[in-house]
Structure 1
Amino acid sequence: MKHNDCLMDLQQLRYVVALAETRNFTRAAERCRVVQSSLSHRIAGLERELGVTLFARSSRRTELTGAGAAFLVGARECLAAADRAVADAAAAGGSVRGRLAVGMIRTTAAVDVPELLQRYRARYPEVRVSLEAGSSDELAAAVRKGELDIVFLGLPEGEQPAGVESLVLDRDAHVLVVPAGHRLAGASRVTLHEVADETFVDFRDGSPGRAQTDQAFAAAGLARDIAYEAGVAELITQLIARGLGIALLPSAFVRPLVADDPQLALVPVVEGPRRVEYLAWSRFNPSPATRALLDVLGAGPRS
């Protein structure tokens, strides 16, 4: 079969993506709002047309083949380009629609994201928004790959997001979080030297959240014992409340979190870690929905 004899359409590509992500014909059909037999028939027809098997099937499992995995990359790119073409055409006519993929660190504090999206919805009700949480390095990489449109990041002071457009939202100092009965719970302030021998709870090694504190201790020529690692700040504070350690966390995020918690106390830190919160988005031709969010935030117009 010659390549230009191929008659695949966007709907077939959507079926392939849905099946690849759900690995189940019934769930894929539900997502695409079609009957399962129709989805199965269209995917089988596409495989015959291409001359390759995209999915390995059994009574219990459905998985991409090597050819299917290769095809999936282009299918996603094609669907994204089609969605972008529709959004660009609508924007040229004065209407913003389409999809907006937003990523955020779990400790975002500079912007009330739900309130921002409420204002965004009031102005652009035809945009569908998806939210994803992750670490700053993962989110910035997703923007560079085109997987996310705009993200809220937190990085150590002096470090900037690479390969993306970015805007500083806030700068913040960390505070020490200790159990209420800890020897330092009533202190007016502490230094890193005073807490270096304590047992710490922190974010996972290699994450930007962890790097903020690691760099501060390294700059002071100090080492520390990290007994527990966690992916989210809420779990870190729960471990601290149980007396398992102490932590240094961004003050703007943690103060509201522990304000009404009698099991925890906050102590200012002299020359401790500092964090910069950023808004970041693609350098290359951001979507109309992305530019609209920047405008609602008061950061537009951008190109």
Structure 2
Amino acid sequence: MHYDLTDLKVFLAVAEEGNLSRGAARCHLAPSSVSLRIKDLEEAVGAALLVREPRGVKPTPAGRVVMEHAQRCIAQLEQMHADLQPFSQGLAGHVTFFANNNAIGTYLPDDLARFFALYPSVRITLEERASDEIVAAVAAGRADLGMVALESDYSHPDLDFLPYKEDQMVLLAPLGSPFADQASVGFAACLSAPFIGQQQGSALHTFLMNRAAALGGRLDVRVQVSGYRAIVRLVSSGAGIGIVPRSALEEGDETQLAIVDLAEHWARRDLHVCVRRQPGEKNHFREKLVELLCPGRAPSNPDLNLSR
């Protein structure tokens, strides 16, 4: 079944305006032309899409279905146009990069700024994912690069993991709380206190919830926020405890709250860049980004020769 894109845009304009004349004006078309296009679309669909009312028109049930799908289709086409426009303006290359929220919220922005200063005509699609999702995406070729925090003995037959930054998850607690005077604390002890966490669906939230479930418990989440600094501020105010990467802390934070080591092997969250050993299509700027992130760290695959 064939649908004309202009017909869909015209129908959408009329349905959203609730008036044929206003919809025609929005499309810069004559009302008679708009009526004809809507008639053609109704014939293609096999159902009436608009019903006339004293003050205009409104979509029928079939019309509402067409509206919903047309809005999505047109939005996707507009996004495709926006994504392709840089290529017509001399875009040199593109890298798809999946990273966990630890990297995105701490080290990575500064390094990406350095990369863009060197290669201003390159676009990077950066998406936040959990580490296990990132590994799967890079291995399957859905991402050019990944940045993950994995167990030290983790390996994958198709991927290389290049050291990027050392980091560690720490517990934040209000000054004067029972945790404040401890040198280290086990994660199980954290389950009994009001917890300030990241938003549901974030990589860190999912990771900590899974760790709590493995202990047969759950976190007592009092509030969820979108960034590490919000967790720091809420813990400082006494709202609860939180867990963040040490790299997310700023100078002076130690005077506002207690920073306590987590006595868990998984608290060591060193970041690694992961690349495919056989990357398929050659991407010069993927190589350059790996070289900037991991200078002197050569992966095993010959197509990512960082000495070049």
| 1:296 is aligned to 2:292 | yes
Percent identical: 21
Q: Distance in 2 between matches of 1:231 and 1:141?
A: 27
Q: Given the superposition, is the C-alpha separation of residues 131 and 224 from structure 1 closer, same or farther in structure 2, using an over 3 Å criterion?
A: closer
Deviation of residue 226 (structure 1)?
Answer: 1.8
| 1:127 is aligned to 2:122 | yes
In structure 2, the residue matched to 1:227 is 221
| 1:271 is aligned to 2:264 | yes
In structure 1, the residue matched to 2:231 is 236
Q: Given the superposition, is the C-alpha separation of residues 147 and 265 from structure 1 closer, same or farther in structure 2, using an over 3 Å criterion?
A: same
Q: Distance in 2 between matches of 1:290 and 1:52?
A: 46
Instruction: Read off the aligned partner of 2:235 and give its amino acid letter.
Output: I
- Provide the secondary structure at the position in 2 that maps to 1:268: strand
Paired residues of 2:190 and 2:219 also in contact (CA < 8 A)? no
Q: Distance in 2 between matches of 1:281 and 1:71?
A: 33
**Residues 158-194 of structure 1, C-alpha deviation per residue, up to 9 Å, x if partnerless?**
6678987654434543211101231221322233454
Paired residues of 2:129 and 2:203 also in contact (CA < 8 A)? no
**The 10-residue stretch of structure 1 (155-164 or 231-240) with the greater mean CA deviation from structure 2:** 155-164
Instruction: Read off the aligned partner of 1:289 and give its amino acid letter.
Output: F
1:40-59 matched pairs, under 5 angstroms: none
**Out of 92, 113, 130, which is 1:97 matched to?**
92
Paired residues of 2:101 and 2:204 also in contact (CA < 8 A)? no
Count of equivalent residues: 262
Deviation of residue 205 (structure 1)?
Answer: 5.6
Instruction: Read off the aligned partner of 1:295 and give its amino acid letter.
Output: E
Deviation of residue 208 (structure 1)?
Answer: 3.6
Q: Distance in 2 between matches of 1:203 and 1:272?
A: 21
Q: Given the superposition, is the C-alpha separation of residues 166 and 235 from structure 1 closer, same or farther in structure 2, using an over 3 Å criterion?
A: same
Q: Distance in 1 between matches of 2:145 and 2:71?
A: 26
Q: Given the superposition, is the C-alpha separation of residues 126 and 276 from structure 1 closer, same or farther in structure 2, using an over 3 Å criterion?
A: same
**TM-score for the superposition, normalised by structure 2:** 0.55
Instruction: Read off the aligned partner of 1:249 and give its amino acid letter.
Output: V
In structure 2, the residue matched to 1:174 is 169
Q: Distance in 2 between matches of 1:286 and 1:111?
A: 29
| 1:184 is aligned to 2:186 | no
Q: Distance in 1 between matches of 2:189 and 2:287?
A: 47
Q: Given the superposition, is the C-alpha separation of residues 286 and 252 from structure 1 closer, same or farther in structure 2, using an over 3 Å criterion?
A: farther
Deviation of residue 239 (structure 1)?
Answer: 2.8
Paired residues of 1:155 and 1:212 also in contact (CA < 8 A)? no
In structure 2, the residue matched to 1:7 is none
- Provide the secondary structure at the position in 1 that maps to 2:169: strand
Q: Distance in 2 between matches of 1:139 and 1:239?
A: 30
Paired residues of 1:199 and 1:245 also in contact (CA < 8 A)? yes
Q: What are the ranges of 5 or more consecutive residues in structure 1 without an aligned counterpart?
A: 4-11, 17-23, 25-35, 38-44, 88-94
Instruction: Read off the aligned partner of 1:243 and give its amino acid letter.
Output: G
Deviation of residue 203 (structure 1)?
Answer: 3.6
Q: Given the superposition, is the C-alpha separation of residues 249 and 66 from structure 1 closer, same or farther in structure 2, using an over 3 Å criterion?
A: closer
**Residues 207-261 of structure 1, C-alpha deviation per residue, up to 9 Å, x if partnerless?**
5413543455566x463442235253233323322322212322233x33x6436
Paired residues of 1:155 and 1:209 also in contact (CA < 8 A)? no
Q: What are the ranges of 5 or more consecutive residues in structure 2 without an aligned counterpart?
A: 9-15, 17-26, 29-36, 51-56, 59-63
Q: Distance in 2 between matches of 1:161 and 1:67?
A: 40
Greater Rg, structure 1 or structure 2?
2
Q: Given the superposition, is the C-alpha separation of residues 203 and 67 from structure 1 closer, same or farther in structure 2, using an over 3 Å criterion?
A: closer
Paired residues of 2:138 and 2:144 also in contact (CA < 8 A)? yes
**TM-score for the superposition, normalised by structure 1:** 0.56
In structure 1, the residue matched to 2:145 is 150
- Provide the secondary structure at the position in 2 that maps to 1:153: strand
Q: Alpha carbon RMSD of aligned pairs, Å?
A: 5.7
Instruction: Read off the aligned partner of 1:271 and give its amino acid letter.
Output: E
Paired residues of 1:102 and 1:129 also in contact (CA < 8 A)? yes
